Structure 1
Amino acid sequence: MTLKLALSGIRGRLRNLIVLLAGLVVSIAIFYMFQTMAWNTAFITHNAMINSIQLVYAMGSFLLAAVTLFYVIYAGGFLFSLRQREYGMYMTIGARRSRVRTVMLLEWLVIGGAAIVIGMALGCGLALLVSSLLANMLDTTFSGYRALYGPAVLFTVVFYVALLAVTALWSQLKLGRMRLLQLLRAGDSAERPARAGRGAFWGGLLGLGALLIGYIALTFMEQLREIGLLAATVMTPLGTYLLFMTWLPRLVRRAGRSDRRLAGIRAFTNGQLAFRVRDLSRMLATTALLVALGTGAIAGGIAFLNDAYLKARQSGQYDIVLENPDPQQLELLRAVTFEERHELRVKREDAVAWVARADLEAMLAHTPPVLEDGTVLEEALPGGQQAITWTSHPQWRQLLSGVLPASALGADEIRLADNSYFGAIGTAATTVWFGRSDDFLAYTDIWGELESGRTAYHWSKYDQYQDNLGLAGGTVFMGFFLGVAFLTMMASCLMFKILSGASTDARRYALLRKLGVRGERMRASIRRELGYLFLLPGAAGLLHVLVGMNLFAFILQQPYYRLWLPLLMFAVIYGLYYLVTVWMYNRLALPAPVSGDVPHTRQTGGGTRYPGGSMSRN
């Protein structure tokens, strides 16, 4: 009988519980995706571009676990608010409180168990899909990564079972403390939020100072180092919480008093917002910080990837160096637009590498070579057959050391020879073909094909590009998973925290309905109210991101590169959760007949006239 009651309760609220189930499934899938890396120490160590990557992932796992804990608690509170009055009805008709607790536990276990099974399957599929897509996009492989990873599966299942048990226990304790009348009249009692005293002003001022200290630490991280990291980690969250808890409610309340346009339904919306902001201030501050962490993680990964591209363009004197190129290689080179290209003949005689002077003269006559550091070669060509050393001719030695063939690398000296002397040397000549294209990254496929058949005798530009790209790809991979995890959890927490109070607001909207407010006006009020609740922490979080990217300024050349991409991802995820929240809130809070005007009313120029002559403006 108890199981039937639980299942019937689930069926009765199926459409609302599907959203709860979907939120839990996404939460489990994202959490598992992150744990596939957090537990795979070999993968994150091999693909890390920063030191102490294990500490970074330990902190990330802790933060994600904390956010997940709050999320599951809010989800449990949402389920309790949906069924609270029905639990009271069960006790009214004679059910013992212990039996009602069992019904509640069974409902939560059914939903939680289904979420774990579906979420783990979805998490494995998403991990495989995302890793494959990122590997193809970055043209690299994530060595050591496994989408189905045993320790990650075990930890995720144990963690969520424990969370569901804690949430069920918390709900049962809450049920035990509530009297029957409170259950039956859920949402009827008035809530009076505490008024802010004079300390709120000084608390907000302290929060503003803490936030400024955090921003200064982020901006001057290169100079402050460990002290700056500690200050930014402590002061930025502290300032955010203090400002949201002290000044934000006062600002919303004062805005409602000063704006004369706030009349009718607009006044109601502002009143609802002012009432909610104080209750949700901690949640809004947490959301702002998670927006910053999630968006910043994705932006940081993209910035590291761009840094690999910049280093590829700037590293090495020449894009390609070929030794005795064959006709097939020369055919591939015809598809490349070169800004500079040269041929150099080299012979090895005992301990001396002889370079044809005529080839170097032709090089100077065509285009002055650009060295690895970006400067143009300015040294005069050495005369006679004198040795080219790092002391006597450092620029020429730097140029030749990057293009000499394998046969000349072990030579003690590098000397120049005119055509007659060069031809008289009895060894075979090696022709080196090298050049610089107009855009190295535009021809990576050609470089890869040319390098595949080449015997590596020195570190080529393409080799360095592949190495940097592999490391950056791992960082992008980790940043993407961490960012999506934080953004998803953040939006889910805010959504269920808002929805948990929807049943309380239902009576207010029912009263508005009786006063003649049209359904469309009420829906617009809800969209506006929830829009502010989503907009405030979102804007604060994005401000944290814009300032916080300075953290990478002394590591990366362009930390703000393509910042619009993670901002777009944030907007999409945040916007989807906003739309789902509005849809769910409309279903839970608005009375059933929400379209059209109230029957038996007629519109006049001054408003809506009701029987008896009373007037009401919408």
Structure 2
Amino acid sequence: MIVKLTMANIKSHIRDYVVLLTGLVMSSAIFYMFANLATNETLIKSNVNFKYASIMFIFGLVLLAIITLVYVMYANSFLLNMRQHDYGLFMMLGAKKSRVSRLMVLETLLVGLVATAIGIVLGILATAWLSGWLLDQLGLVMHNFNPIYPKAILVTLLLFVALFIIAALMNLQRMIKTPVLKLLRQSDTVDRVVFKPSWLVLQTILGIGLLAIGYWAMANITTLVLSAVPIALVTITLGSYLIFHSVVLLLLSALKKTNWAIKGLNGFTLSQIMFRVRDYTKILTVTSLLFAMALGAITVGTGFRRDIPTIAKNSSAYTLAINDADEQQKQQISGLSDAKTITYQQKIVGQTVYYLQSEFTSHPYQTAVIGNEAHAQAKYQDTPTNKLTNGQQSEFGYLAGTEKQLNAKFVSQSQFNQLAANTKRVTLVKVQDIPANYQKLVKLADSQNQKHPRAVGTGGFGAFTTYQLVIGIFGGLEFVGYFLGIAFLAMLASCLMFKILSGATQDQIRYQMLAKIGARQKLLKQSINREILVLFTLPAILGVVDVLFGLQLFKVVMTDPYYQIGWIILIFVLIYLVYYLLTVWLYRLLVLPSKKK
């Protein structure tokens, strides 16, 4: 009988269960995406470009586990609040408290297992799509990668099952101690906000102090090295919680004493936030951290994406060199976008490669001159052969296309003709956009290396060789940046929207009462807009501040972490605005009374 009543009640609250399951599915899916890359040791060992990125995935996984803990605990608290009236009704009808308790634990675990299972499947699909898309866009190759990774599935399943067991036991303890009548009338009560201003001021000072320690740790990454990350992680998390808990209450209590609070529904809006301030403190803290990590990760990914081609093009004026290009290679060169070529004749005699001086006079060889600004693109200038440095002189030995390291000499036409050697040609190729031509350049470079192996220890010639070397070191960090940014952005939207929409059931009663006593639809919509705007704006502000300090962590590996940061923040805020508008629209559908036709 109880099972039938439970199923009937679930059907009547299907909308609330959809909101609950959606949030939990997103949480488990995103956690699996991290676990897949953080726990795959074979993937990390077989991919050099992920050697430096793996530590970021591990710290991201730890932080996400902490956030997931708070998220799951809140979700189960929401589940208990939604069902406790029904549990109280069952006991009023004669059901034993022990049996209802077992039913509650079973229902909690069932919801958790279903959400986790769906989340893992969604996480596998998201990992396959997102990783494939990013690798294709960034020009990276990842070996031993499989979206379906058993260890990641096991880690995700064990974590969420453990969290749901803990949450179920906590809910069970809470329900056992709650009288039946209180269970029945719990939805009719509200949490009164009782606080002491002096205690809130102390929390504000402590919160600011903890944030300052975290920002200091990130700014001193060169001194603290890897210890700066956990220090910042702990202090910023605790500091953000205290700031939201104290500042929000102080600000709202001050606003309620102004004339603005008595206009329209402003007082009602302020009360709405204050009644649920404890729950919002947690979610605002989580949201600010996710906002900072998402924005910071995308900023770092964009920074590495900008730096890698710049570093490569600063190393040489030419992209790569092709010796004695055949017809297939000539077609490949012609297929490059915005490509320029220069061809020089050469003869190899002993340990020397000879070039025509007249060709270098009519088509001067260019060298890269790096500017003073950290993010500046190198300028290329013509360099006479008689003014070449030793390093520039040795470059021409690489252009011979042999495994030997040769010396270069520049001679006249008559001297060149007298040399008893076959005339060869080397074509220097220059493209403006290496990433856009990456796949074509790979094929061209591979064909060159097969025909003319590189000299031992030289590492090859041209900006493309440098590009491949740098992307091997920092390409994994670039991948991590975009991957983390997209994942945390999805988690951010899931957390905040879930929190706001989960309270719509009780809010619906309040808005219907306001409508019955004459409140206009326009004022009700304004109240909703302002309430949700506060919840979106507060974590965004702190998140941006966290990012501005947090980018100090990357000053040791990036030329300029803050380059064009304003545009990135603007784009991110616009995307964030879309989530705000979507949340407002869904919330209105749930709480506002429908218009009578």
Point out the more displaced range, 530-539 or 507-516.
507-516
Structure 1: which amino acid aligns with 2:386?
A: L
Q: Whose Rg is larger?
A: 1
CA contact (8 A) 1:520 1:594 kept: no
CA contact (8 A) 2:294 2:484 kept: yes
Q: In the alignment, is residue 547 of structure 1 matched against residue 549 of structure 2?
A: yes
Which residue is equivalent to 1:316? 316
Q: 1:488 aligns with which of 490, 496, 507?
A: 490
Alpha-carbon distance, 1:105 to partner:
2.9
- For 2:149 and 2:279, the matched residues in 1 are separated by 41
- Pair 152,569 (structure 1): closer, same or farther in 2 beyond 3 Å: farther
Alpha-carbon distance, 1:536 to partner:
0.9
Which whole-Å deviations, capped at 9, do the CAs of 1:451-488 have from their partners, x for residues lacking one? 24223325243344244445544334333443344343
Q: 1:579 aligns with which of 577, 582, 586?
A: 582
CA contact (8 A) 1:21 1:111 kept: yes
- For 1:71 and 1:581, the matched residues in 2 are separated by 21
Structure 2: which amino acid aligns with 1:423?
A: N
Which residue is equivalent to 1:306? 306
- Pair 156,440 (structure 1): closer, same or farther in 2 beyond 3 Å: closer
Which residue is equivalent to 1:353? 352
Which residue is equivalent to 2:247? 247
- Pair 234,25 (structure 1): closer, same or farther in 2 beyond 3 Å: closer
- For 2:122 and 2:205, the matched residues in 1 are separated by 46
Alpha-carbon distance, 1:167 to partner:
1.9
Structure 2: which amino acid aligns with 1:401?
A: G
- For 1:159 and 1:398, the matched residues in 2 are separated by 58
- Pair 446,503 (structure 1): closer, same or farther in 2 beyond 3 Å: closer
Q: 1:369 aligns with which of 366, 370, 378?
A: 366
- Pair 52,315 (structure 1): closer, same or farther in 2 beyond 3 Å: closer
- For 2:182 and 2:581, the matched residues in 1 are separated by 31
Which residue is equivalent to 2:427? 433
Name the SS of the counterpart of 1:294 in structure 2.
Answer: helix
CA contact (8 A) 2:77 2:171 kept: yes
Alpha-carbon distance, 1:300 to partner:
2.0
Alpha-carbon distance, 1:178 to partner:
0.8
Which residue is equivalent to 2:442? 448
Alpha-carbon distance, 1:32 to partner:
1.4
- For 2:564 and 2:346, the matched residues in 1 are separated by 45
Which residue is equivalent to 2:373? none
Which whole-Å deviations, capped at 9, do the CAs of 1:185-227 have from their partners, x for residues lacking one? 1133453322233243343234334434544554454466567
Structure 1: which amino acid aligns with 2:402?
A: A
Q: In the alignment, is residue 381 of structure 1 matched against residue 378 of structure 2?
A: no
Name the SS of the counterpart of 1:257 in structure 2.
Answer: coil
- For 1:161 and 1:353, the matched residues in 2 are separated by 70
Indicate the structure with greater helix content. Answer: 2
Which residue is equivalent to 2:400? 404
CA contact (8 A) 1:301 1:472 kept: no
Alpha-carbon distance, 1:106 to partner:
3.5
- Pair 447,481 (structure 1): closer, same or farther in 2 beyond 3 Å: closer
Structure 2: which amino acid aligns with 1:362?
A: E
Superposed, 1:198-347 pairs within 5 Å as 198-219=198-219, 221-222=221-222, 225=225, 232-260=232-260, 262-277=262-277, 280-334=280-334, 341-347=341-347
- For 2:190 and 2:342, the matched residues in 1 are separated by 84
- For 2:121 and 2:436, the matched residues in 1 are separated by 39
- For 1:490 and 1:265, the matched residues in 2 are separated by 29
- Pair 278,367 (structure 1): closer, same or farther in 2 beyond 3 Å: same
Alpha-carbon distance, 1:526 to partner:
2.4
- For 2:414 and 2:583, the matched residues in 1 are separated by 82
In the alignment of these two chains, the number of paired residues is: 580
CA contact (8 A) 1:317 1:372 kept: no
Name the SS of the counterpart of 2:393 in structure 1.
Answer: helix
Structure 1: which amino acid aligns with 2:86?
A: E
- Pair 103,585 (structure 1): closer, same or farther in 2 beyond 3 Å: farther
Which whole-Å deviations, capped at 9, do the CAs of 1:36-86 have from their partners, x for residues lacking one? 111102323454658665543333222211211221121112222222222
Alpha-carbon distance, 1:254 to partner:
1.7
- Pair 174,218 (structure 1): closer, same or farther in 2 beyond 3 Å: same
- Pair 102,50 (structure 1): closer, same or farther in 2 beyond 3 Å: closer
- For 1:227 and 1:38, the matched residues in 2 are separated by 19
Name the SS of the counterpart of 1:431 in structure 2.
Answer: strand
- For 1:149 and 1:334, the matched residues in 2 are separated by 42
Alpha-carbon distance, 1:111 to partner:
2.5
Alpha-carbon distance, 1:292 to partner:
1.0
Name the SS of the counterpart of 2:201 in structure 1.
Answer: helix
- Pair 394,190 (structure 1): closer, same or farther in 2 beyond 3 Å: closer
Which residue is equivalent to 1:136? 136
- For 1:13 and 1:339, the matched residues in 2 are separated by 63
Which whole-Å deviations, capped at 9, do the CAs of 1:482-508 have from their partners, x for residues lacking one? 334434344434444445555554554
Which residue is equivalent to 1:479? 481
Which whole-Å deviations, capped at 9, do the CAs of 1:416-439 have from their partners, x for residues lacking one? 443333322322232222243444
Name the SS of the counterpart of 1:191 in structure 2.
Answer: coil
TM-score by length of 1: 0.83
Superposed, 1:154-165 pairs within 5 Å as 154-165=154-165
Q: Which runs of 5+ in 1 are unaligned?
A: 383-387, 598-618
- Pair 586,195 (structure 1): closer, same or farther in 2 beyond 3 Å: farther
CA contact (8 A) 1:298 1:479 kept: yes
Alpha-carbon distance, 1:334 to partner:
4.8
Which whole-Å deviations, capped at 9, do the CAs of 1:374-421 have from their partners, x for residues lacking one? 574656628xxxxx9xxxx525514423423317x344x444443333
CA contact (8 A) 1:338 1:435 kept: no
- For 2:415 and 2:301, the matched residues in 1 are separated by 55
Structure 2: which amino acid aligns with 1:536?
A: L
Which residue is equivalent to 1:606? none
- Pair 446,108 (structure 1): closer, same or farther in 2 beyond 3 Å: closer
Superposed, 1:185-196 pairs within 5 Å as 185-196=185-196
CA contact (8 A) 1:295 1:567 kept: no
- Pair 493,329 (structure 1): closer, same or farther in 2 beyond 3 Å: closer
Q: Which runs of 5+ in 2 are unaligned?
A: 371-377
Which residue is equivalent to 1:148? 148
Alpha-carbon distance, 1:556 to partner:
1.1
Name the SS of the counterpart of 2:367 in structure 1.
Answer: coil
Structure 2: which amino acid aligns with 1:168?
A: A
- For 1:172 and 1:503, the matched residues in 2 are separated by 23
- Pair 21,228 (structure 1): closer, same or farther in 2 beyond 3 Å: closer
Q: 1:537 aligns with which of 539, 544, 552?
A: 539
Superposed, 1:85-100 pairs within 5 Å as 85-100=85-100
Q: In the alignment, is residue 424 of structure 1 matched against residue 418 of structure 2?
A: yes
CA contact (8 A) 2:260 2:266 kept: no
Structure 2: which amino acid aligns with 1:319?
A: T
Alpha-carbon distance, 1:442 to partner:
4.9
- Pair 108,267 (structure 1): closer, same or farther in 2 beyond 3 Å: same
- For 2:470 and 2:349, the matched residues in 1 are separated by 37
- For 2:538 and 2:157, the matched residues in 1 are separated by 34
- Pair 444,278 (structure 1): closer, same or farther in 2 beyond 3 Å: closer
Identity %: 31
TM-score by length of 2: 0.85
Structure 2: which amino acid aligns with 1:363?
A: F
- For 2:383 and 2:405, the matched residues in 1 are separated by 27
